[in-house]
Amino acid sequence: MSVSTNDLRNGMALNLPEGLMTVVEFQHVKPGKGGAFVRTKLKNYRTGAVLERTFRADEKVPLAVIDKREMQYLYRDGNDYVFMDGESYEQLHVAAAELAGAVNYLKEGDSVVLPMYQGQVVGVDLPAAVELTVTETEPGIQGDRVSGARKPATLETGLVVQVPLFVEVGDTLKVDTRSGEYLTRA
């Protein structure tokens, strides 16, 4: 199945030689002379890498149909993460490599959306922020209140983030899943 570059929309998935891509941005350009073209910004589903590519106007590109399924993360089984489909209760084993950096934000019982292409998981759609509990950090020293000072804290998933000095073990923090940075105490 293919689609004309004139019909591209943000969020559309394309199966290009560079890999499975999603359209982040597109712009139709009609120069004074020469043929019209479409300038696009594409994001690789698996790696998250962004690349810019130009197509001729009305060029046909292969469309990829991505099936987005909401699933619940159950537990870790060796190197696999086990998810359950909320509708069919079918369990799905996904290798840690396919989830990439998302494993730092997954706790048992969390719901996530898994985009699938031809029956294979091609990434994870995480919420913008998740709440994780601090399992290890140095105690804040009384009177040590340097403005903007940070210390490392290990969270329940093993992720290490820089946090303000007042954060203690057992605190629940809100962490940005795009940048991996501490946002606030929950």
Q: What is the pLDDT of residues 81-108, one digit of tens each?
A: 899 988 888 888 888 877 777 888 888 8
**pTM for the structure as a whole:** 0.69
Co-location of 73 and 106 in the same domain: yes
Token pair 């993460």: residue: 81
Give the CATH number, domain containing residue 102. 2.40.50.140
Contacts of 186 (CB under 8 A, 6+ apart): 131, 172, 173, 174
At residue 31, φ and ψ (nearest 5 deg) are -70, 165
**pLDDT attached to residue 39:** 92
Co-location of 73 and 117 in the same domain: yes
**pLDDT attached to residue 143:** 60
> Domain of 156?
129-185
pLDDT digits (tens, 9 = 90+) for 2-32: 888 888 888 888 988 888 888 999 999 888 8
Contacts of 115 (CB under 8 A, 6+ apart): 45, 66, 67, 68, 121, 122, 123, 124, 125
Contact 83, 92 (CB under 8 A): yes
Pairwise CA distance, residues 154 & 131, whole Å: 13
Co-location of 80 and 38 in the same domain: no
Co-location of 6 and 58 in the same domain: yes
The count of structural domains within the chain is: 3
